[in-house]
Chain A
Amino acid sequence: MKILVMIKQVPDTATQVKIGPDGKAIDTAGITWIVSPYDEYALEEGLRIKEKRGQGEVVAVALGPDRVKEALRSCLAMGADRAIHLNDPAWERADTLMTARALAAAIKQEAPALALFGRQAIDDDMGAVGAAVAELLGWPCASWIMEESVDEAGKAIRVGRQVEGGLELFDLPLPAVVSAQKGLNEPRYPTLKGIMGAKKKEIKDVKAADLGLTAEAPALSVIKLETLPPRPPGRIIQGEAADAAKELVRALREDAKAI
C-alpha cells in the first residue's frame, strides 16, 4: 500500500515572529524551521500503517523553497522511504488553492491508496489544503482524525473523529484523504541510524511543468500583517487572602466583566 504524506515546513513554535519590511510576509532571517507538528502525526500514522501491514511505501511530499529539503530529510530520518519536493519559483507566492492544485497533481501522478495531511499547518493555520486536495481529486475526505484502521484488503479506512461528547466513526473507500488531529499518535524520534541513512534516500525535485501545471496568479493575497498590541501588564492584588479574594471577584465582575 502506497501512502503519501503531505508535510509543510513551518517556523519553530518558539520563534519570535517579526514582520518583514514589505509588511506582507514575516521576516525569515534566523528562523529555525520544523515540520509542522500535525504533519508529524500524519507521517507517524503513515509509518504505523506500513509497519502494521508489513509492507508498503511511505512518501513524504512538500512544497516550498530549497530550505524545505531539510524538513523532508527529517521525514526520511523518521522512516519515510522517499520524498518529493515541489520546488519551483512559480509556487513562490502559492496560496491555499495553488498549493492544493500542485499537491493534487503530484498525488495523481503517484496514485497512492491514502493521502495523509496534518489538520492544519501551524504557521498560517488555514487548514484548507487537505480538503481542497480531496475536492480536486474527487476523493472522500475525513478531517481531524483521532484514530484509524485500514481494512486487510487495503480497500477502505475507518476513521474516528472527536466530536462534542463522543467519537464519530466513518468508513471511507480508498483512495481517500484524511487529516491528523493531535492525539492520533505520539510521533517517534528519528533514530541516529535513521538520520545517517536519510542521505541515501531519494528526494525527487518536481517543477510545475512536470505536473503539467502552468503559472497562475494566487487568488488570495495578503494585504497587511500586523503585530498584536502588547499585552497589558498583569495586576497583583495585595492584602490579606480573604480581602484579596473579594477584590478579585469584584474586579472580575465589574472591571473585566468576566463573571
Chain B
Amino acid sequence: MNVELTDEQKMIQAVARDFAEKEVRPIAEVIDREARFPRETVRRMGELGLMGIAVAEAWGGSGGDTVGYAVALEEVSRACASHGAIMSVNNSLYCDPIAKFGSEEQRRRFLTPFAAGHKLGCFSLTEPEAGSDATNQSTLARRDGDAYVLDGRKIFVTNGREAAAALVFAQTDRAKGPRGISAFLVEKGTPGFTVVKTEDKLGIRASDTAEFLFEGCRVPASARLGEEGQGFKIAMMAIDGGRIGVAAQAVGIAAAAYEAALGYARERKSFGVPIGRHQMVQWMLADMATAIEAARLLTLRAASLKDGAEPFGPQAAMAKLFASEMAMRVTTDAVQVHGGYGFIKEYQVERHFRDAKITQIYEGTSQIQKLVIARHLLSGAAAGS
C-alpha cells in the first residue's frame, strides 16, 4: 500500500494550505461570530478549483481525485470548518452524484457552472421526520404529464439559502418505500420553491443551514436525476463519498485545535515551568497527535479506495466515525490544555470545539455509522478483510 501523496496531491495540499492560511483563517473568527456566509472566499475557492476537485475538466471541475479532495478539505477546515462544510457539500453531495448520474444536458446545466464555482449547489434529503431514517420521506413528487409536482418540507440544508440549485429527494411512489424515492434538480426561483428559514447554530456558524418549502412546485420530467425510484441509491452513494469529506473536515478541525494546544503548552507557565513539561499535559498532546494521524490515514485510505473504483462505503463510514469522535475528543482536550482561556472566545480553540460537534451528526450520526459498519461486517461481505 502506498501512503505517499503524488506530486499533484502535494501541490493541491500546498495551495489549499496557503490559501486557507492567508485568506480564510483571518476571517474565521468574525464570520463565526456574525454567522455570516463568506461569499468572497467561497468565490475564490471556486476560482482555485476547490469546489469541484474530482469532477472532470470537461464538466468545469479540476480533474483531480478523492485523495486530492480530502487533503484540500482538511487544509481548508483547519482554517475554518464552515468553509469546509460549504466546500464538502458542493463537491461530494451535489457535484459528485450529478457527474455520476446526470444526462449530458443535466451536466451542462447543473454541473459545469457548479463545479467551476460560479454557482453553489446543495443536497436536500433531511425532513422533520426523516433524519437518520432517511427513507421515511414525506415530500411527494407527483407525476403530471411531462412534469412532476413537489410538495413537502425539507430541513437542515447546508448551503440552502446561497445555492442556485438543489438536489432534492422525494417520494414518487410511496407504496414502494425506499424504492419509491426519486431525485430532482430544482433551480432557485422555480415557483412553489421557497427558503423559509435559516438556522442559528452551535458550530459551523458561517455555513448556511436552511429550510425549504415546496408547495405545488412544478419541475419538468427532465429535472429528474437518474431513474424513477433510483433516488435513495443516489443519495446513499453521494453520502458514502461525503463521509470521506466529513472525516477530512474533522481531521482539519482537530489539527487546528491540537496546533493551538501545542503552541500554548510551550508558552503558558505554571509552577515555574511551561505547562508542556507537566506529564499529564504531555499525555494529552501525545494522544491528540496520535489520534489525528490515525484518523487522517483512515480518511486517505477510504479516499484511495474510492479513486481505485473499489468498494469504499464501510471504510468511509469507519473514517467518518473515527475522525469525528476523535475531533470531539481532541478539541475537548485542546480546550483543557488552555484551561480557563480555552473557554474564552478570544482563544480559537473554543470555536474548534463547537465546530467539531457537527461532524458526529451530519451525513449519518456516529450511531448510524456503527450501524452501517456492523451491517457490513455481518453481511459476510467483509469476510477475510
Q: Using a CB–CB distance below 8 Å, which chain A residues touch chain B? A: 70, 73-74, 77, 189-193, 195-199
Contact = CB atoms under 8 A, between A and B. Distances in A.
* Majority DSSP secondary structure for residues of B touching A: helix
Contact of B49 (A70, A74, A193, A199): A193
Contact of B63 (A189, A190, A193): A193
B15 A189 contact: yes
30 contacts: A70-B7, A73-B7, A73-B11, A74-B11, A74-B14, A189-B18, A189-B48, A190-B11, A190-B15, A191-B15, A191-B49, A191-B62, A192-B50, A192-B62, A192-B64, A192-B68, A192-B72, A193-B49, A193-B57, A193-B62, A193-B63, A195-B8, A195-B11, A196-B8, A196-B57, A196-B62, A196-B63, A196-B64, A197-B63, A198-B11
A30 to B, nearest CB: 15
B53 interface: yes
Given A74-B11, A190-B15, A195-B8, 17 more contacts: A70-B7, A77-B11, A189-B48, A191-B47, A191-B62, A192-B12, A192-B48, A192-B62, A192-B64, A193-B57, A195-B11, A195-B15, A195-B62, A196-B8, A198-B8, A198-B11, A199-B7
Contacts of A199: 7-8
B185 to A, nearest CB: 25
B264 interface: no
B343 interface: no
B19 interface: yes
Contacts of A193: 49, 57, 62-63
Interface in B4-20: 7-8, 11-12, 14-15, 18-19
Contacts of B7: 70, 73, 199
B53 A192 contact: yes
Nearest to B116: A193
A89 B12 CA distance: 31
A130 B47 CA distance: 34
Contacts of B12: 192, 195
A192 B49 CA distance: 5
Contacts of A195: 8, 11-12, 15, 62, 64
A10 B19 CA distance: 21
B170 to A, nearest CB: 34
Contacts of B14: 74
A109 B132 CA distance: 67
A162 to B, nearest CB: 24
Nearest to B22: A189
Contacts of B48: 189, 191-192
Contacts of B11: 73-74, 77, 190, 195, 198
Contacts of A196: 8, 57, 62-64
Interface centre among A191, A196, A198 (most CB of B within 10 A): A196
A192 B68 CA distance: 9
Nearest to B10: A70
Nearest to A77: B11
B213 to A, nearest CB: 36
Contacts of A70: 7
B76 to A, nearest CB: 12
Q: Which 6 A-B pairs have the closest CB atoms?
A: A192-B49, A192-B62, A196-B63, A195-B11, A191-B49, A193-B62
A124 to B, nearest CB: 24
Interface string B42-68: 000001111001000100001110001
B113 to A, nearest CB: 15
